[in-house]
Amino acid sequence: MPVRVVLLGPPGAGKGTQAAKIKEKRDVAHISTGDILRDNVEKGTEIGLAAKSFMDSGRLVPDDVIIGMIRVRLSCDDATEGGFILDGFPRTTAQAEALDRLLDELSLHLDAALLLEISDDEVVRRLSNRRVCQSCGAIYNLVARQTKEEGACDACGGRVVQRDDDKEAVIRNRLMVYRERTSPLIAYYERKGLLFRVDGAKSGNAAMLLLESIGVM
Ligand code: ADP
Ligand code: ZN
């Protein structure tokens, strides 16, 4: 049975970590708009050029760019057949409505929207200590999850660095953007009966356990 879920929650709530845990158990497409965007920035594509200044300042990339990207990715066979975890999308009401239309076109439905709940202080603490592998995207933390060798990825040996937008001033801005633009989606999915809350301060497999408990996986 394919799993089709949306992960909601502020930056640093652990969406990427939880998605990776679900993926260990089920072969679903992990679709992270942040990762797709960073990949485009690195390759210097048109999308990357359009997105970079928004990302660097912690603002949202315009909806039409994001929706176009998701339309392409979600239509791939692995996602339509095997299921998907949307990580960092939707982030605005317009994006959520576009997702509903797209799923309609594909004759698919969402199983759940999981809200990872975590305090602002914890977000700042986590993100300022977060480091990521430039090559494979593996996530580390200076306090909670160090690399074996300093600056090198345990999984692939790639360079492990701090994202430009994980600096405190930008983190505060991302939190504000989350509150204004993304948090209305909590009510949006609540109305559809799809919202489930997960304690983001808990261990990395809380989302997976919740999906198991509601019979989605
Ligand atoms: P996090 O969840 O840690 O904030 P992401 O990696 O999901 O970070 O996103 C990084 C940046 O990419 C965001 O701050 C934003 O500029 C852009 N971005 C990612 N997903 C979206 C989206 N769905 N809509 C608009 N902008 C997005
Ligand atoms: Zn790596």
CATH code (residue 11): 3.40.50.300
- Asked if residue 111 belongs to a domain, the reply is yes
Residue 142 lies in a domain: no
Q: Is 13 in the pocket of ligand 1 (CB under 6 A)?
A: no
Encode pLDDT of 25-46 as tens digits: 999 999 999 999 999 999 999 9
| Catalytic residue annotation | 15, 91, 130, 163, 174
Tell whether 141 is covered by a domain: no
Residue 10 in any domain: the answer is yes
Domain total of the chain: 1
Q: Which atom of ligand 1 is nearest to the CA of 87?
A: 7
In terms of pTM, does the model score above 0.95? no
* Residue 69 belongs to some domain of the structure: yes
How much is the average pLDDT of 70-79? 96
Percent of the chain with pLDDT strictly greater than 70: 100
What range defines the domain where residue 188 resides?
Answer: 3-118+168-213
Long-range contacts of 93-99 (CB under 8 A, 24+ apart): 93/184, 93/185, 93/188, 94/63, 94/67, 95/63, 95/66, 95/67, 95/70, 96/185, 96/188, 96/189, 98/63, 98/67, 98/70, 99/6, 99/70
* pLDDT band (50, 70, 90) for residue 98: very high
In a domain, 59, yes or no: yes
Q: Looking at the predicted structure, is the pLDDT value of residue 203 above 90?
A: no
State yes or no: pLDDT of 76 exceeds 90.
yes
User: Is 151 a member of any domain?
Assistant: no
Residue 90 lies inside a defined structural domain of this protein? yes
Which ligand 1 atom minimizes the distance to the CA of 165?
Answer: 14
